[in-house]
Amino acid sequence: MNLICFDLEGPLAPQDNAYELMKLFPRGGKIFEVISRYDDLLTLESRPDYEPGDTLALITPFLAYHGIEEEQIAAMGQKAGLTPGATELIFKLKSRGWYIFCISTSYEQYAFPITQRLGIPSENVACTSFPLAQIRQLLGQDEFALLEQTEHEIVNLNPFIDDTKIREYLDFFYWQKLPQTSSGGIIGQVKPVGGRRKVQALENFSTKMGNPLSRWTVVGDSITDSKMLQTVNKAGGLAIAFNANEYALKYATMSVASVSLDDLWIVLEAWEKGGRRVVEGVVKERGKAGGTKDREWFHWLDGTKDITPALEIHKRVRRLVREEAAKLG
């Protein structure tokens, strides 16, 4: 039995849904970039009870304040572009009898339309529940002024350059100021499927399928996938970083940088033939040859201390495929 689980945003669809949603109102894109960087900072310091990807909870008050509707999220899922080669790869995997899963931090209204278009059964998809209509009812007039002021402050901060200010200001807003309002519990209404929650979702699928994590292949690209990649790699499975950033590359078994997801087929076919041992041979051989322009850049990462050569190539190809979303953690 061959089992594979994809992250959604990056491997299967290039855009970042939350980023695009925030752009629906003035200055929303800039606000999201700052909050996304705050998410990275909290994750890197291993803050208790905080998971990478909780950005989707942190932006909830702003989406509610600006009247974003669930239907708008679903419409984005229907119209969203797919990563080149995704349709072809899924077709090949299905024809060879692979069981295909998706675990995504994305809101359910976005994740389900995309996975349905790719033919991944809804029961094989784990994503973030997002009852936005209910959440909006929690937001009172008292918070409008607070959110307006917060937005005014956030747009003057720049990720990386103002990391200390970002951390201090948003710590104060999220954990002191907002909880004092009537809608203080609004963030707690959303539990994004990132970090350890991705691992838990994968373990649930693993139990359902009756196969240990050593039999699984997982594909991810960012900080929200790092724990899932690390867990599968340690278990002896195959953890693939695809057009990844440094947070994913550090924990993967191997990586592929390409403008086409279909380039993974070379690796997955090797996995079919002989598992991780055969994959290692293929990847190392391909790695020596190097890629061709923007395709087939393979790196074996397990046991590698220096990810710099891979990271430089992934940064370049990631920008080509994911465009604006590439700068997010």
What secondary structure does DSSP assign to 193-252, as a single string?
--THHHHHHHHHHHHHHT--GGGEEEEE-SGGGHHHHHHHHHHTSEEEEES--HHHHTT-
Overall average pLDDT of the 249-267 stretch? 97
Which among 325, 319, 280 is positioned nearest to 300, based on CA atoms? 280
Q: What is the pLDDT of residue 329?
A: 55
Q: What is the pLDDT of residue 292?
A: 86
Mean pLDDT, the chain, rounded, equals: 94
Q: Which residues contact 71 (CB under 8 A, 6 or more apart)?
A: none
Q: Which helix (H) or strand (E) holds 217?
A: strand 216-220
Sign of CA dihedral 45, 46, 50, 55: positive
List the single range of 139-148, 260-269, 312-321 with lowest mean pLDDT.
139-148
Q: What is the pLDDT of residue 325?
A: 59
Which among 5, 261, 4, 7 is positioned nearest to 128, based on CA atoms? 7
Q: Which residues contact 109 (CB under 8 A, 6 or more apart)?
A: 70, 73, 74, 77, 130
How large is the C-alpha radius of gyration of the chain?
Answer: 20
Q: What is the pLDDT of residue 326?
A: 57
289 pLDDT above the threshold of 90 = no
Which pLDDT tens digit goes with each residue over 65-119? Answer: 999 999 999 999 999 999 999 999 999 999 999 999 999 999 999 999 999 999 9
